[in-house]
Structures are given as C-alpha cells and as structure tokens.
C-alpha cells in the first residue's frame, strides 16, 4: 500500500484545476445501461471508484473504454443482470446499477454495497422507492433480487432518518424513466450531482420535471437513446483545495469551482475570516493570519455538506477559539478525530458534535486514514503541522481525489507518495 509523506509549514500559492465530480459520474455511467446505444461521458476523473464502475459494467457484458477523461459505453443487448459482491462491496455508489438494470431487463441481482466505514447507511429507501413503482424485491444471501415485467409510475416518499438520500433518488429516478406512467418522488435529493444525472437522462430522451427541488416528476418513455454529456466539476474537491489554501494561510485560485454548488462552504469560510473572491468559473481563496472559530452543522443540500465535515474540523484545529461541528447526516462520521488528536488537536466528541478547541500548532505524526474524507482532513492537518506527517492507507483518498499530491505539489506543498 501507498502512503503520503508531508512536510508541513508551506503557504500554498497558485492555481489548481478541479476534476469532474465522481458522485455525478458514477450514477451517470450506470444510467447508460438504460439504452442499447452508445453514450459518451466526458470530464470523468480516472479514480479508483470510476475504474470499479467500469469493471462492473464489463461484468454485465457491456463494452466500456476510457481515454483520458472520456468514457465510452456501448451496452448493446447485454443480458447479464448480476453485479457481484467482489466489486459492489468496495464502493457504495455501485448500487446505483440496480435501477437501470431492472428497468432495462426486467430483473436484476445486485450485491448489498460497501464503501467507506462511516456508520450505517442502509438501502431501505432504494428498495422502498423501487417497490413503489412496481418492483418485486427480496434480499437473500447478501444480494438484492428485483424483478418487474413492467415498472409503473407511482408516488414515492424518500425521506429517511437523516433527510433525503442521493443514491436512492438516483436509483428510483433512473428506473422510472422507462416505467409506464408518471412517477413522483417526494423529498427527492436536491444535490447538484443528482441534477447532473437528470440532465444526462434528459439528453437520452427522458422526461423529468422539478430538477433541484424536493418534488421530482418523471414521465416514463418507451425507450431511451445514447447521449453525450460532460460531468460537472467536483464541489467537494473544490472545497478541499479551498480549505488547503485557508489552513496554510496561502492564496489559491480553484479553477472549475461553481459558487452555486458550494454556497454553504463559502459562507462558513467567510465567517472564519477567509477571503473568498468569485470570478467566472473560479474561486480564489486567501487564508488569514489566524482562522476564526465557526460552528457548522451538516445538512442535505444546499446545507453544509457532510463530505466537507472532516475538512472543516481539521481547519478549526488551528483556529483561534472553540468551534462546534455537528454531523446530522452520518452521526458516526468522526473517525478522523482520534488521528487528529495524535497530531496535537484538542477535540472532544459529544454525541453527534465535535467540540474543537483551536491550538497554536499541530505536530507531524504517523496517522492512518479510515475513509475518503478523513484522508483529506489528515492531509490538510499535515500541510499546516510542524514536522513530517505520514498518512497511511491512502487508497481511500484515491477513491475520490485525482492525483492530490501532484496538485498540491504544484501549489508549493512538500508532499510525496511512498510505499508503506
């Protein structure tokens, strides 16, 4: 396995380009299964999760080629309906093949998903939603078996204990495009990645109304065709590099950052005393001499994103005061705290809230990544810490960030990859 080695204390400076959003690319790639025709998807980051999705599609008998950031998918008349455990267990987003396979073939067999260990994330809303449009579903031996001679439009409510579900919305919306009649999804996810998926589906011939709202209507059609689509920039990657500039007191322009996708992040940054300047297609961040403490609560979009929670905790570790960061989406998503404390952070966990008392400095230390965003938080801490930080198990990081160490090096960071 690889690790990242970081020598902290450098103020980052320069320009960094944001890659395509993997959380949009993955369900879009799955949605290409709805047609026999070729689809071309651009701005797809060559990440570990994307390569896993390509393997799943090929396992189904689909022809897939990746050239740079362009993925060409030619489903043809594929007949295999099974997404196996060995692949789905490594990535939760792979479960979004369930809806398109079911809608296209009338039957599907998909392993229950895996991914980052950040607390329970059941698939009950996926199954509830698909049952609501006529699917017969059973779970046996770690697999979901679904069948439907013809999906039919219905009214489904996708609210869960912690709000709407992005992947459940994706699965039901995708399947409903080929259902008979109109499907209404109540409490649908409003995230930009779900809206981007809907745009791809509409290019394929789907009829969808209410994009970006909690009420989405899908009028089923008989068939869909191939399409060409460019994936939106990754708002979480953009936020992470903005945080890297802020925590090091540097100045970085993030090309591709869309202000309309990161409004809650920008608001918290400005509260922390960070200068954020918005231009056409870019955001420039200038870190202050001392970060001010802020309180943040993760919420469904357009609230503060759970995928930025670990990063803001890392930032607040060196703020000038006490911050409270509350996790309302995945209350157990605090595995980075124990590693940050190894670097000298003062953090107390009280229920779903992290109480962060800022310190003057962090110290480099060997730390271990537990999940994707925790990895990013440890890198941020390493960038500002005195001394050397070794971040182990960065295969988590590689699932969501394209060549992070190379991009940070171009900003002046002293960071490199080594074998453990």
Active site residues: 116
Residue 303 is classified by DSSP as S
Q: Where are the beta strands (DSSP E) in 27-172?
A: 39-42, 63-67, 70-74, 82-83, 107-111, 136-140, 143-147, 155-157, 159-160, 163-164
CA distance 188 to 17: 31
CA distance 291 to 274: 7
CA distance 305 to 265: 8
Q: How far is CA 173 from CA 27, 203, 259, 312, in A?
A: 11, 14, 26, 32
For 300, the token pair is 């469904």
For 171, the token pair is 């699965």
CA distance 302 to 165: 14
CA distance 34 to 60: 13
In sequence order, what are the beta bridge partners of 53? none
For 414, the token pair is 């002293």
For 54, the token pair is 């390509």
CA distance 88 to 53: 9
Q: How far is CA 83 from CA 11, 121, 163, 204, in A?
A: 45, 19, 27, 23
Spatial CB neighbours of 286, under 8 Å, sequence gap ≥ 6: 245, 250, 251, 274, 275, 277
Q: How far is CA 190 from CA 34, 117, 193, 211, 301, in A?
A: 22, 24, 8, 7, 6
CA distance 75 to 20: 23
**Largest distance between two CA atoms of the chain:** 64
């Amino acid at each position: 396995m690889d690790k990242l080695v970081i020598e902290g204390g450098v103020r980052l400076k320069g320009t960094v380009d944001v890659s395509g959003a993997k959380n949009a690319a993955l369900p879009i790639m799955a949605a290409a299964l709805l047609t026999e025709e070729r689809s071309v998807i651009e701005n797809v980051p060559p990440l570990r999760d994307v390569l896993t999705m390509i393997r799943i599609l090929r396992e189904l008998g689909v022809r897939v080629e990746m050239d740079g950031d362009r993925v060409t998918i030619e489903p043809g008349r594929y007949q295999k309906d099974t997404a196996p455990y060995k692949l789905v267990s490594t990535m939760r987003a792979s479960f979004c093949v369930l809806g398109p396979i079911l809608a296209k073939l009338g039957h599907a067999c998909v392993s229950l998903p895996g991914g980052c260990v950040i607390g329970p994330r059941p698939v009950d809303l996926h199954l509830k939603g698909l049952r609501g449009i006529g699917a017969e579903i059973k779970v046996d031996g770690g697999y979901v078996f679904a069948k439907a001679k013809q999906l039919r439009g219905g009214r489904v409510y996708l609210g869960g204990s912690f709000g709407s579900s992005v992947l459940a919305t994706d699965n039901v919306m995708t399947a409903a495009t080929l259902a008979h009649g109109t499907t209404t999804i109540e409490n649908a996810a409003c995230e930009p990645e779900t809206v981007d998926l809907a745009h791809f589906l509409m290019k394929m011939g789907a009829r969808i109304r209410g994009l970006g709202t909690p009420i989405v209507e899908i009028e089923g059609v008989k068939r869909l065709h191939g399409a060409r689509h460019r994936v939106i920039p990754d708002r979480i990657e953009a936020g992470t590099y903005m945080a890297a500039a802020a925590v090091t007191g540097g100045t970085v322009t993030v090309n591709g950052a869309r202000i309309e996708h990161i409004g809650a992040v920008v608001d918290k940054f400005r509260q922390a005393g960070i200068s954020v300047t918005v231009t056409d297609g870019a955001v420039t961040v200038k870190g202050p001499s001392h970060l001010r403490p802020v309180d943040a609560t993760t919420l469904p979009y357009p609230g503060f994103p759970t995928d930025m929670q670990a990063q803001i905790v890392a930032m607040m570790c060196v703020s000038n005061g006490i911050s409270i960061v509350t996790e309302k989406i995945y209350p157990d998503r605090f595995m980075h705290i124990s590693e940050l404390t190894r670097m000298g952070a003062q953090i107390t966990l009280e229920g779903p809230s992290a109480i962060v008392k800022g310190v003057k400095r962090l110290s480099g230390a060997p730390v271990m990544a537990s999940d994707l965003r925790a990895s990013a938080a440890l890198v941020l801490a390493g960038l500002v810490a005195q001394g050397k930080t070794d971040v182990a198990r960065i295969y988590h990081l590689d699932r969501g960030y394209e060549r992070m160490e190379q991009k940070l090096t171009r900003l002046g960071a002293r960071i490199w990859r080594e074998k453990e």
